[in-house]
Structure 1
Amino acid sequence: MSIPAASPAAPGKISEPLYKSLFAQVVVALVLGIVVGMAAPEFAIGLKVLSDAFLKLISMIVAPIVFCVVVHGIAGAGDLKKVGRVGVKALIYFEVMTTVALALGIVLAYLVGPGHGMHIDTAGLDPKALGAYADNAHKLQGGGLSGFLLNIIPTTSFDALARNDVLQVLFFAVLFGVSLALFGGPQGQKVSDLIEAVSGVLFKAMGLIVRVAPLGVLGAVAYTVGKYGVGSLKQLVSLVALYYLSVALFVFVILGGVMRLAGINIFKFLAYLREELTIVLGTASSDAVLPQIMRKLEYLGIKKSTVGLVVPTGYSFNLDAFSIYLTLAVVFIAQATGTPLSLGDLLLVLGVSLVTSKGAHGVPGSAIVILAATLNAVPSIPAIGLVLVLSVDWFIGMARALGNLIGNCVATVVVAAWEGDLDRARAHEVLDSPPPDLAHIAAAEQPA
């Protein structure tokens, strides 16, 4: 099911009424959420149910989608050597970018010093505020590298799907896809066709769910503004501002440079993904746009097998913005509590973060849990300092999800260009045209 080249029909579709545009609906929901949060805080807090329901709908369907697209991507590639080559290149890229992101967080934290002058007495911090986060972090960190590796392997495949553990689902999907490719023959083709059909149905279901994204954004933004407001965040505003600046620098300078090497303009690329990025910004969740992102990357001219392997893998192994936050927050807590950090401490933070950041996507409250696990591994920094960043985690989470998604999309383009799976002429044609919506892409996928 190949996608034809861009046609003159694309501009025609843009002429639809503005109120039907998902991008416009999400923007309106963002503004309305801010207004409601400021005007009626108590009522706004109650709207959190809209956000929770939307994210729960997304969570319901993400794991089976990841399983189907990865299995079909591997089995459909035909050449397991190519699959292995793409996988190795993706992992190399992920590790390089993760290291760069972690280092950027440390450097900016030291240059700006957002925690200097706070003089926080850790004895006055309430450990109860951490709730279950600290316990989960101890469990996560206690097993070390061996525990992390064992956690990748699911108890059963159904257990991984039931708990929506994307990293474990990914492991099983790769194993199943490779086995299906080796099995081959008419029977194997039947299984592959079935999985492709199920994937198509799941994509349709996700398309229906995404139509209610504006309600999810409205609930999330209204709740955040109503609960926290602006005044309560003055003490930590420097950390939030520095983090947003860090993500912007990483996206436009580092990722922009990488994209230039691949022959793609980062600004045109982000404009092409504007609807999905707006949804992620409002909901602080990149799960909400996984299927749409994959379809748009295929439409851009990247082979389906590469998209199906790199994007889901990146959701667990390529958390660029999360990596920036990890080291930035650790140094911030050290500065705020007056804890001096030696070069050895910084190298330990960097090394531990390289491990703890992997698979964070599948952990409930992942940012807080992984941050706590990292602090537990660095004895010189008081872990109770984690309380300091709890109140701004949602605000930081919006940029974190946005940066992670952009990083994964860029990774897919780069790996595809590296492997020769990117049709650059097609990509330039698509990026130079008005951004298509999913309805237009779906129509383009139909056989002529």
Structure 2
Amino acid sequence: MSISVHKADTPPARRTIRIGLAWQIVIGMIIGILVGVTLSRHPDLRSAAIKDYIQPAGDLFIKLIKMVVVPIVFTSMVVGIAGVGDGKSLGRIGLKTIVYFEVVTTIAIVVGLLFGNLLQPGVGTDISQLGHADIAGIQHTATLAGEHHGFMHLVLGIIPENILASMARGDLLPVLFFSVLFGLALQSVPKDLRQPVVDMLRGVSDAMFKVTGIVMRYAPIGVAALIAVTVANFGFASLLPLMKLLGVAYLAIVAFTIVVLGVAARVFGFNIFTLLRIIRSELLIAFTTCSSATVLPQLMKKMEDYGAPKAITTFVIPTGYVFNLDGASVYLGIGTLFVAQLYGVHLGLQEQIVLVLTMVITSKGAAGVPGFMFVILLATLSSAGLPLEGLALIAGIDRFMDMGRTALNVVGNALAALVIARWEGQYDHQKGQAYLRQISDIEQPS
């Protein structure tokens, strides 16, 4: 007689649902928009809620990111340069970087003018709907920024009087300059003395990237707070009179990303949509915060993981944050033509060629000063003889415009690191493919 023992059925393992950072940020944006719309309908509650709770919650995220940017840039760049080999290699990388930046930003300006001419965002816009244009505040901001603008001021601004003071202020240009000099000097030190310094800085860099990972856990809350403040302060109603301008600007940004950057990526053996998938979390953060600096550490890390060497990512990406402003360049062309069309001023081919040259010259390095967009636009409008009041009319939606152009700046800088790496013959294809497989495995439902 046999006795059969039936074991209780083992319950199936519970499926763990993991929400990635990108989706967490999307959820944060949706919650922030809903909170902002609610507050915009209750003016009595809006001011206190924003001042006491929501704005500080958003500012906290910005400050946390800025806390790690300078240490990461300094340590990563020094370690990267120390591994380049010699100053000649760094000079070649720097020259290729500047040439690439110059070509791409010039094309971005032309694309902006092209969309402005074809779609004419200023035609049919009723100036009376835009309210009173107060140019005084705009001019004051631009004047303060313009006092420190110009080629020689840019050169002087690159060289720090006190590197610790520059680090404390978060000035990237002086930090980049000092990092390059320190890295080159470190190469000439005997290896037995150099290696401990490099190892220490590498350890600091790796630790700061871990800190960035901790900080990014707060990103969905910070993003929700920042987008709530934007929607509550401006509201969607303020967009209606300038919806055509906003639509043309975003259409140009998308077209530039897919066509221009897409072609550049294809020429160097990359796919722009793959890149967008890799940096989607960074794009959402940059879009919401209107700050490229908030994603600088993780952008450098991801491009290094994707196959670009540290020596290139740590040089190209921080430099691009100052000199490779694709989104701002597209916006310059569209914004200038919008003002001209708004006031019925016709700009011929010759005038627009002069505009391109003016924008190319004035935009280089302007991101190093506050209010740089006002400086460039005022200089451009003045050179074309256009009414300066037009700038004040579009200043009300500048925050919404800035969201799109900041995201495009991030895409352009990420691609630049890959392009220079491939151009130098230093791109690690196997490492890049392994990283893509790792991302695909993470994205698979568990």
**Residue pairs, 1:271-290, within 5 angstroms:** 271-290=277-296
Counterparts of 1:176 and 1:148, CA distance in 2:
21
CA gap 1:262/1:128 in 2 versus in 1, 3 angstroms: same
Alignment partner of 1:113 is 2:112: no
Counterparts of 2:381 and 2:162, CA distance in 1:
31
Q: CA deviation at 1:251?
A: 0.8
Q: CA deviation at 1:62?
A: 1.6
1:239 to 242, 245, 250: 245
Q: CA deviation at 1:425?
A: 3.7
SS in structure 2 of the partner of residue 242 of structure 1? helix
* Match in the other structure for 1:59: 66
Q: One-letter code of the match for 1:76?
A: G
Relative to the length of structure 1, the TM-score reads 0.86
* Match in the other structure for 2:17: 17
**Residue pairs, 1:102-251, within 5 angstroms:** 102-118=109-125, 120=127, 125-130=133-138, 132-141=140-149, 144-251=150-257
Any conservation in 2 of the 1:300–1:430 contact (CA below 8 Å)?
Answer: yes
Q: CA deviation at 1:217?
A: 0.6
1:385 to 380, 385, 390: 390
Any conservation in 2 of the 1:26–1:279 contact (CA below 8 Å)?
Answer: yes
2:432 to 427, 430, 436: 427
CA gap 1:119/1:375 in 2 versus in 1, 3 angstroms: same
Q: One-letter code of the match for 1:434?
A: I
Any conservation in 2 of the 1:153–1:171 contact (CA below 8 Å)?
Answer: yes
Q: CA deviation at 1:119?
A: 6.5
* Match in the other structure for 1:8: none
Cα offsets for 1:75-110 (capped at 9, x unmatched): 122233222222211111111101111111111111
Cα offsets for 1:42-70 (capped at 9, x unmatched): 44644222222211222233223222222
Cα offsets for 1:405-440 (capped at 9, x unmatched): 110111111111111111224323433553577xxx
Q: One-letter code of the match for 2:28?
A: A
CA gap 1:174/1:435 in 2 versus in 1, 3 angstroms: farther
2:409 to 404, 407, 416: 404
CA gap 1:167/1:349 in 2 versus in 1, 3 angstroms: farther
Any conservation in 2 of the 1:75–1:178 contact (CA below 8 Å)?
Answer: yes
* Match in the other structure for 2:37: 38
SS in structure 1 of the partner of residue 83 of structure 2? helix
Q: One-letter code of the match for 2:72?
A: I
* Match in the other structure for 1:371: 377
Instruction: Name the stretch that deviates more: 244-253 or 115-124.
Output: 115-124
Q: One-letter code of the match for 2:278?
A: Y
Any conservation in 1 of the 2:142–2:371 contact (CA below 8 Å)?
Answer: no
Counterparts of 2:439 and 2:80, CA distance in 1:
29
SS in structure 1 of the partner of residue 200 of structure 2? helix
Counterparts of 2:422 and 2:16, CA distance in 1:
34
* Match in the other structure for 2:10: none
CA gap 1:302/1:130 in 2 versus in 1, 3 angstroms: same
Q: CA deviation at 1:342?
A: 4.2
Counterparts of 2:120 and 2:304, CA distance in 1:
42
* Match in the other structure for 1:9: none
Counterparts of 1:33 and 1:327, CA distance in 2:
31
Any conservation in 2 of the 1:120–1:338 contact (CA below 8 Å)?
Answer: no
* Match in the other structure for 1:302: 308
* Match in the other structure for 1:267: 273
Alignment partner of 1:82 is 2:89: yes
Q: One-letter code of the match for 2:401?
A: I
Counterparts of 1:392 and 1:100, CA distance in 2:
25
Any conservation in 2 of the 1:246–1:324 contact (CA below 8 Å)?
Answer: yes
* Match in the other structure for 1:7: none
Alignment partner of 1:256 is 2:262: yes
Any conservation in 2 of the 1:300–1:426 contact (CA below 8 Å)?
Answer: yes
* Match in the other structure for 1:444: none
* Match in the other structure for 2:104: 97
CA gap 1:337/1:50 in 2 versus in 1, 3 angstroms: farther
CA gap 1:435/1:353 in 2 versus in 1, 3 angstroms: farther
Counterparts of 1:287 and 1:435, CA distance in 2:
27
Q: Which runs of 5+ in 1 are unaligned?
A: 1-14, 438-448
Relative to the length of structure 2, the TM-score reads 0.87
Q: One-letter code of the match for 2:116?
A: A
Counterparts of 2:288 and 2:101, CA distance in 1:
26
Counterparts of 1:202 and 1:278, CA distance in 2:
22
Counterparts of 1:98 and 1:205, CA distance in 2:
33
* Match in the other structure for 2:77: 70
Counterparts of 2:126 and 2:39, CA distance in 1:
35
CA gap 1:275/1:435 in 2 versus in 1, 3 angstroms: farther
Q: CA deviation at 1:402?
A: 0.8
* Match in the other structure for 2:344: 338
Counterparts of 2:131 and 2:238, CA distance in 1:
21
Any conservation in 1 of the 2:33–2:231 contact (CA below 8 Å)?
Answer: yes
Any conservation in 2 of the 1:263–1:424 contact (CA below 8 Å)?
Answer: no
Larger radius of gyration: 2
Counterparts of 1:203 and 1:180, CA distance in 2:
23
* Match in the other structure for 2:321: 315
Counterparts of 1:417 and 1:188, CA distance in 2:
29
Q: CA deviation at 1:385?
A: 2.2
Q: One-letter code of the match for 2:352?
A: L
Q: Which runs of 5+ in 2 are unaligned?
A: 1-14
Any conservation in 2 of the 1:137–1:372 contact (CA below 8 Å)?
Answer: no
Report % sequence identity: 40
CA gap 1:61/1:374 in 2 versus in 1, 3 angstroms: farther
Q: CA deviation at 1:252?
A: 0.8
Counterparts of 1:342 and 1:179, CA distance in 2:
52
